[in-house]
């Protein structure tokens, strides 16, 4: 009996050690570099907004996500379910903020704007009638977001169709709706207020001039695999 108890204790100690090693070896999330300068999207989005948005706001989501994940790993190792549950909102908010912004930066380009080509354009015509109709529908849904959130063009893998959706706060599109994100427009005020004040429709209208349709097309191709 004592032998069995000793074996159980050693097993528990080994499991705890393994969990701690996994937590220690877990790579921390990092702020992604932009492929363009902060001022590259002017006059549509000015350099001050881009610098604050990327180096301050996105960085805060990354830092808070890392801290929250460390606390979660500790709670997991201890079997502390109460703390694990309590940390879920912070994981969703900061994790969503990191996911959303990482997509957002690649959706933008100083060489963007115009209209998409090829398979993406055909899909837009099929699902919305025309590029202009898609643009109008997505703009309306994005402007209508109450408070803070995002407007999205997503891919419904089950139906094989493009869909437009809006998400509150930093809720990630895929985790919230099941849609695979292709194009996101951030309508938190930090994304536009310094330049457009409270006139969100002007910001949404302007951002179409820097949309990186090549990136959106690549995301569609990946989503279809």
The pLDDT tens digits of the residues spanning 102-114 come to 999 999 999 999 9
Task: Name residues whose C-beta falls within 8 Å of residue 160's C-beta, 6 or more positions apart in sequence.
Answer: 224
35 in a structural domain: no
Token look-up 């610098």 returns: 51
Query: Domain of 147: which CATH number?
Result: 3.55.40.20
User: Residue positions in the annotated binding site for Mn(2+)?
Assistant: 53, 101, 186, 190
For the chain, what is the domain count? 1
133 in a structural domain: yes
Q: What is the mean pLDDT of residues 136-150?
A: 98
67 in a structural domain: yes
19 in a structural domain: no
Domain span including residue 112: 44-224
pLDDT at 4 over 90: no
139 in a structural domain: yes
> How crowded is the C-beta side of 42, counted as CA atoms within 13 Å?
11
How many helical (H) and strand (E) elements, i.e. helices and strands, does the chain have?
11, 3
39 in a structural domain: no
pLDDT of res. 81:
96
Rounded to whole angstroms, the Cα distance separating 110 from 97 reads 23
pLDDT of res. 16:
42
92 in a structural domain: yes
87 in a structural domain: yes
Q: Are 196 and 97 in contact (CB under 8 A)?
A: no
User: Residue positions in the annotated binding site?
Assistant: 53, 101, 186, 190
């Amino acid at each position: 009996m004592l032998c069995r108890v000793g074996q159980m204790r050693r097993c528990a100690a080994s499991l705890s050690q393994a969990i701690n090693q996994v937590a220690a070896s877990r790579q921390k999330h990092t702020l992604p570099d932009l492929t363009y300068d902060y001022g590259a999207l002017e006059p549509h989005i000015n350099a001050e907004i881009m610098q604050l948005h990327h180096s301050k706001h996105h960085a805060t989501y990354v830092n808070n996500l890392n801290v929250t994940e460390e606390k979660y790993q500790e709670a997991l190792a201890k079997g502390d379910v109460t703390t694990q549950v309590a940390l879920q909102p912070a994981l969703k908010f900061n994790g969503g903020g990191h996911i959303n912004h990482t997509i957002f930066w690649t959706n933008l380009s100083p060489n963007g704007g115009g209209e998409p080509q090829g398979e993406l354009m055909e899909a837009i015509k099929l699902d919305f009638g025309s590029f202009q109709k898609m643009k109008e529908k997505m703009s309306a849904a994005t402007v209508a977001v109450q408070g803070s959130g995002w407007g999205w063009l997503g891919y419904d893998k089950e139906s094989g169709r493009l869909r437009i959706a809006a998400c509150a706060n930093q809720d990630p599109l895929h985790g919230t709706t099941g849609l695979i994100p292709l194009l996101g427009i951030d309508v938190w005020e930090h994304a536009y207020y310094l330049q457009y004040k409270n006139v969100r429709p002007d910001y949404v209208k302007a951002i179409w001039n820097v949309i990186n349709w090549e990136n959106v097309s690549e995301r569609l191709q990946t989503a279809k695999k």
